[in-house]
Amino acid sequence: MSTNSQNSYPLPQPTGFTKKFWDACQDKVLTVYACKNCDHTFLPGGPACPQCWSPDLVSQPVSGLGTVFSFVVYQRTYHPAIPAPYVVALIELEEGPKLISNIIGCAPKDVEIGMSVRVHFETKDGFLLPRFTPLNPDNKSEG
Ligand SMILES: [Zn+2]
């Protein structure tokens, strides 16, 4: 066991159900799972569609655009590799599915529910993780 292991970044441990998602992230592609039976899209991966229970699923690329559905600001450091403050957010993707990630590229105090964000892949110990950054940091009402 490495003596540095407690300080290294805690990376995801892909399983059979989540491996396609994490493999696509390593190519900087954000994906969701799509049901071939009812077209429902969802995250995270699992053995069956949560809407119709079909096991016939495919991995499907998405735009990487979304909005902040909810968030919390961590003011305390729980892991030495993840210093506070940082934002953990529930992101609602443009295509519908939601995922938990971090908001980076702006101060935690500037994060708002409903804020438009886009995916940004960040490298931690050689592994690409999907984070989200503000889409229009200087003009929230653009469009
Ligand atoms: Zn389905």
Same domain, 76 and 99: yes
Residue 107 sits in the same domain as residue 44: no
Are the beta carbons of 18 and 42 closer than 8 angstroms? no
7: pLDDT confidence band, cut at 50, 70 and 90?
A: confident
User: pLDDT digit string (tens) for 17-55?
Assistant: 899 999 999 999 999 999 999 999 999 989 999 999 999
Strand partners, 99: 91
Query: Where residue 73 falls among pLDDT bands split at 50, 70, 90?
Result: very high
Q: Do 42 and 98 lie in a common domain?
A: no
Tell whether 143 is covered by a domain: no
- Choose between 137 and 16: higher pLDDT: 16
Rounded distance between C-alpha atoms, residue 137 and residue 111, angstroms: 10
- 3-state SS assignment for residue 20: helix
Determine the length of the chain.
Answer: 143
* Whether residues 29 and 69 fall in one domain: no
pTM: 0.88
Distance 45 CA to ligand 1 centre (A): 13
Does residue 114 lie in a domain region? yes
End-to-end distance of the chain based on CA atoms, in angstroms? 53
In a domain, 6, yes or no: no
Residue pair 25/101 in contact by the 8 Å Cβ criterion? no
Do the domain assignments include residue 125?
Answer: yes
Helix, strand, coil percentages in the chain from 3-state DSSP, rounded to 5: 5, 40, 55
CA distance 143 to 123: 31
CA of 3 to the centre of ligand 1 (A): 46
Residue 48 Cα to ligand 1 middle (Å): 8
From 5, 33, 61, the end of a domain falls on: 61
> Which protein residues have their CB within 5 A of the ion that is ligand 1?
35, 37-38, 40, 49, 51-52, 54
The structural domain count of the chain equals 2
Instruction: Indicate whether 76 and 98 sit together in one domain.
Output: yes
Q: Is residue 33 part of a domain?
A: yes
Domain of residue 40 covers 14-61
**Calpha distance 136→115 (Å, rounded):** 9
